[in-house]
């Protein structure tokens, strides 16, 4: 069991219903639980999050649900307190909550409102999560923070301008935090998924023309499953990656290697 005894908080993890299409957060919650972690599932979708946690606990895993809008600092305070008061510690944080909806525009037509929303959910949410998790991790002698960026935090595209900027912010924010907290044995890394079929993307990626267009650019010729990203998150969360910090792991079927 690769996360035995660890307590992990995962944002955007409601999408872990057993029979539904899983998101990266939901798939990570199951993988972490199977590897022995106590999992704090957080999300704004309370109904789905509670169902996911019920299925996890019905399966014999340790899990709890906490409502968390990642853009609110008070909510982060409450979530970390809830975690530590129930499980006694916090070892792993996965900043997975994210959204690209409403950012599908090039630079000229990107509204300030769309820009701010993308920056809040994707970038500010990551900052606040780290800010409130780090003191708890320091208390237990270290930990691992995994920030979900995107391949679009590394290369550009014709659309989702504000989303890309926000994911680029997550990428470099991860390195800043990695350098600052290495002395506390807190590792911080980013994951950069390529096209992944999740509840967030399914409505778009299952349209035949969009699917064909996206897959055309993928050397492996297919999209990722959320579980394939979750295994990367597990590697970075576990002590197997004990010398990895400030690094970026691209899981994209070869797209940006071209």
Residues that bind another protein (CB under 8 A): 175, 178-179, 182-183, 185, 187, 194, 219-221, 224-225, 228-229, 231-232, 234-235, 240-254, 256-258
From the candidates 65, 87, 163, 181, give the one annotated as an active-site residue.
163
In the chain, how long is the greatest CA-to-CA distance? 51
DSSP string covering 167-233, please? HHHHHHHHHHHHHHHGGGTEEEEEEEE-SEE-TTTHHHHTSHHHHHHHHHT-TTSSPEEHHHHHHHH
Assess whether 65 carries a catalytic annotation: no
Closer residue to another protein, CB minimum distance, 84 or 247: 247
Torsion sign, CA atoms 242, 126, 190, 230 = positive
Q: How many CB atoms lie within 10 A of CB 204?
A: 15
Catalytic positions are 163
């Amino acid at each position: 069991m690769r996360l035995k005894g660890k307590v992990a908080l995962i944002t955007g993890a409601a999408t872990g219903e057993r029979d539904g299409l899983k998101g990266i957060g939901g798939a990570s919650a199951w993988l972490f639980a199977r590897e022995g972690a106590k999992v704090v599932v957080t999300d704004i979708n309370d109904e789905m999050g509670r169902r996911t946690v019920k299925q996890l606990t019905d399966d014999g895993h340790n899990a709890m649900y906490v409502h968390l809008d990642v853009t609110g600092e008070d909510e982060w305070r409450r979530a970390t307190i809830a975690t530590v008061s129930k499980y006694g510690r916090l070892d792993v944080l996965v900043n997975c909550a994210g959204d690209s909806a409403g950012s599908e525009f090039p630079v000229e037509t990107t509204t300030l409102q769309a820009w701010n929303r993308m920056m809040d959910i994707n970038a500010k949410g990551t900052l606040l999560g780290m800010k409130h998790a780090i003191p708890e991790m320091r208390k237990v002698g270290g930990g691992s923070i995994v920030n979900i960026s995107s391949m679009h935090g590394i290369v550009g595209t014709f659309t989702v301008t504000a989303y890309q900027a926000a994911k680029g912010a997550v990428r470099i924010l991860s390195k800043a935090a990695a350098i600052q907290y290495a002395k506390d044995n807190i590792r911080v890394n980013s994951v950069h998924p390529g096209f992944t079929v999740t509840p967030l993307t399914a409505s778009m990626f299952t349209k035949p023309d969009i699917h064909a267009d996206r897959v055309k650019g993928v050397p492996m010729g297919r999209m990722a499953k959320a579980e394939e990203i979750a295994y990367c998150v597990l590697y970075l969360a576990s002590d197997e990656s004990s010398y990895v910090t400030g690094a970026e792991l691209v899981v994209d079927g070869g797209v940006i290697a071209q």
